[in-house]
Amino acid sequence: MKKYRKLIVFATVLMLLLATLTGCGTDGTDDDGNGGDGATRIGIVLPTKDEPRWVQDETRFNEALADTDYSVEILFSQGSSASEKANVESLLTKGIDVLIICPHDGDAAAAAAEAAAAEGVTVISYDRLITGTDAVDYYVTFDSIAVGAAQGQYLVDSAEGEGNPLYLYAGASSDNNAFLFFEGAWSVLQPKIADGTFVIKNSSEAVALQDKAELTRDEMGRIISQVTTNWDFNEAKNKAESHLTAAAAADKGDVYILAPNDGTARSIADVFASDNDVTSYVVTGQDAEKASVQYIIDGKQSMTVFKDVRTLVKDSIEMAISVLEGNTPQTTGSYNNNVTDVPAKQTEVIVVDQDNLKAALIDSGYYEASEFTGLE
């Protein structure tokens, strides 16, 4: 009898402990206990807090989820596939039904997606595609080829005459988007390299392939591995520094720089701005990060590609809710992830420079004018 009583006390303590634990968030958690039966229904995993882009996504998710009836938890993987897998496993133990995940490394995340699928969880790949597995149900994304094409087109439209020095940079090769951005940019830049408008200055692999209008993934991989920033500000800075150290004064002057996103654009721009032989530079970006919007106002970054995260967040939440309600989410196309065609919903992007910055980013309510200085 005594034994049983002990057992009951132990079980009660255990239950209380579990209840407390499941009510606790870990780093970056939005354990808001919104409505529902208390169980976490939607789990969201984002790649890192170290880039403003993903903190922006977290903010927009929190804004959009404020009124939802479903409880949601957001976790960050801090650039580690192992943490990403652990995050997914932790969400699975909380009983999620839908996983919205932006992978740190597209291939490596296949294991996490498969673990989720094995438990009957619907997997939505967010912004970056999880590759090499059929365990991805949906993909919510921007038009990444259009992002790269817009960057390339901006450089083309800014250049006059022949022999303009071109410096190429790319994202991380573990990110499928880095290939899509590069593919888009190359489609626009290559004809202008072939006709002599631009001369590539920092990639022997790109020079070797400069007569090819369309590159295979392997060929793109060769160029990307030479000019990758790995989405890392410091790596971007170090690469730009070593490129400018290696370049002769004649390879500088008025230069054109394909920078893959805002974070790396700012690092690269700072390096080019401080080189005495660089007279002017045009540099691309993407994400409309606050710091880059200020750089554009100040004339230190030429453009950004605005990807309205509010739309991506809205689309992925609508998709998740549709799944939770037993419906089939609406999609607009599909992306092949090397194993299967993943049904996808795609959002368009907007090119922003000094001319339309106010209309695109302030008047649209994305940012407040008071967040910037020197805005007219």
Closest among 87, 2, 81 to 45, alpha carbons compared: 87
- Fill in the per-residue mask, 1 to 40: x = in contact with ligand BGC (CB under 6 A), - = not in contact: ----------------------------------------
Q: How far, CA to CA in Å, does 33 sit from each of 16, 90, 317?
A: 17, 17, 17
Told to check if 266 binds ligand BGC by CB under 6 A, we report no
Q: Which of 231, 256, 272, 372 binds ligand BGC (CB under 6 A)?
A: 231
Centroid of chain to Cα 33 = 28
User: Which residue is associated with the tokens 């999880």?
Assistant: 130
Residue-wise DSSP of 85-97: HHHHHHHHHTT-S
**How many residues make contact with ligand BGC (CB under 6 A)?**
11
Cα-trace Rg, the chain: 23
Q: Which stretch binds ligand BGC (CB under 6 A): 13-21, 81-89, 169-177, 186-194?
A: 169-177
What do you get for the CA distance between the two ends of the chain, in Å?
80
Told to check if 127 binds ligand BGC by CB under 6 A, we report yes
Centroid of chain to Cα 173 = 13
Q: Which of 60, 85, 128, 192 binds ligand BGC (CB under 6 A)?
A: 128
Which of residues 175 and 205 has its CB atom nearest to ligand BGC in the complex?
A: 175
Told to check if 53 binds ligand BGC by CB under 6 A, we report yes
Q: Which stretch binds ligand BGC (CB under 6 A): 38-46, 75-83, 171-179, 318-326?
A: 171-179
Tokens of 69: 């009836």
Phi, psi values for residue 320, rounded to 5°: -60, -45
Told to check if 177 binds ligand BGC by CB under 6 A, we report yes
Told to check if 308 binds ligand BGC by CB under 6 A, we report no
State the residues that interact with ligand BGC by CB under 6 A. Answer: 51, 53, 127-128, 171, 175, 177, 231, 261, 286-287
